[in-house]
Amino acid sequence: MIHTVLPFVLCVVLFIIGLYAIAVKKNLIKVIIGIIVMHNAVNMFLVLIGFRPPASGPVIAPIMTPEMGHRDEAVRALLSHSVDPVPQALVLTSIVIGLSVVALMVVMALRLHQKYGTFDLTQITRLKG
């Protein structure tokens, strides 16, 4: 069954596209874009890890709240259809971290453009080595 691994491999392909952009492109914005692509790839990988076939969200339907339904029934129903909530929580955290890093990078890109007048990384080389 190729479908058991193909989604994960596609995530790695996306990851590599990002990595390629970071390493090979010499435009600063392209590097930022590469990092965002990479973050998205990793996030997708994490989301796909938690996937289970019925693919219903990990939200307990109101009918199953403790006071209304039998607890064990609710738990069992959740077990039979819900996806794994943990990777989703991880991805939420990871998205936030990604946004923070992107914001910082944008600020740095602005400052570098102000100082050097260009986004070209081959011209932004005042440091030796």
Partner 1 sequence: MSETLTLLYGVIAFMLIAAIVAVETRDLLSSVLCLGALGFGLALVDLIVGAPDLALTQVVVEIFAVVLLIRTVVAREDTTKEFIRDTPHVAAMGAVIMAILLGAYLCFQQLTPFGDPPMIMGASYMRAAQQAGATNLVTAVLLDFRAYDTLGEATVIFAAIMGCYALLRTRGKKEQS
Partner 2 sequence: MRGMTPIVKTITALLIGFIMLFGFYVILTGHLSPGGGFAGGVICAAGLLLVVLAFGADTVKERMGHNMAVLWEGLGAIGFLAVALLGFITGTFFAHFVPHNLGVRLFTGGSMPYLNLAIGLKVGAGLFGAFLMLAAFREAERGGRDKGEGDRS
Partner 3 sequence: MELLLPLTVVIPLAAAFIIPVASLLGAKRGWPIGEIVALLAATALLIVSFATFASDIPITTWIGEYKAGSELLGLTGRPVPAQVAGEGGAALPGGVVVDQVVPNTAGDVAGIQPGDAITGWKVAEEGESRAFQPLGTMNELRRANAMLEPGTRVLLRVQRDGQTLEIGIRGGKSVVGIAMVCDGLTRLLLLVIAVVSFAAILFSLSYMRTYTQVHLYYSPLMLLIAGMCGIVVSGDLFNIYVFLEVAAVASFALVGFGVESEELEASFKYLVLSAVASGFILLGIGIVYNLRGTLNLAQIAEFTQFAERNDAMWLAMAFFLAGFGLKAAMVPFHAWLPDAHPSAPAPVSAMLSGVLIKASGVYVLARLVFNVMGASTAVAYTLMTMGMLSMVVGVFLAVGQWDFKRLLAYHSISQMGYVVLALGVGVEVLARQREMTVQWQSVAFLAIFGGLFHLANHAAFKSLLFLSSGSVVHRTGTRNLKELGGLRGRMPWTSLFARIGSLSISGVPPFNGFFSKLLIVIAVVWAGHWVLGALTVLVSFMTLLSFTKVQRYLIEGDLPVRLHNVRESPAPMLLAMGVLAVLCLGLGLLLPLYGGVLLKPATNHLMQLAGYAKSVLGG
Residues that bind partner 3 (CB under 8 A): 12, 15, 18-19, 22, 28, 31, 35, 38-39, 41-42, 45-46, 49, 75-76, 79, 86-87, 90, 93-94, 97, 100-101, 104-105, 108-109, 111-112, 115-116, 124-127, 129
- Give helix 6-24 / helix 28-49 axis angle, nearest 10°: 160
Q: Which residues of 55-84 are buried (b: 16+ CB within 10 A; e: fewer)?
A: eeeeeeeeeeeeeebeeeebeebbeeebbe
Position 109 contacts partner 1 (CB under 8 A): yes
- The four Cα atoms 94, 97, 101, 107 give a dihedral, to 10 degrees, of 140
Residue 128 CB, nearest distance to partner 1 (Å)?
18
Q: What binding mask, one character per residue, do residues 65-84 give for partner 2 by CB under 8 A, x or -?
A: x-------------------
Question: 27 vs 88, which CB is nearer to partner 2?
Answer: 88
Question: 63 vs 128, which CB is nearer to partner 1?
Answer: 63
Bridge partners of 56, per DSSP, are 82
Q: Which does 16 bind (CB under 5 to 8 A by kind): partner 3, partner 1, partner 2, none?
A: partner 1
Backbone region of residue 51 per phi and psi (left: phi > 0; alpha: psi in -120 to 50; beta: other values) = beta
Position 92 contacts partner 2 (CB under 8 A): yes
- CA torsion through residues 109, 110, 112, 116, sign: positive
Which of 9, 48, 96, 108 forms a contact with partner 2 (CB under 8 A)? 96
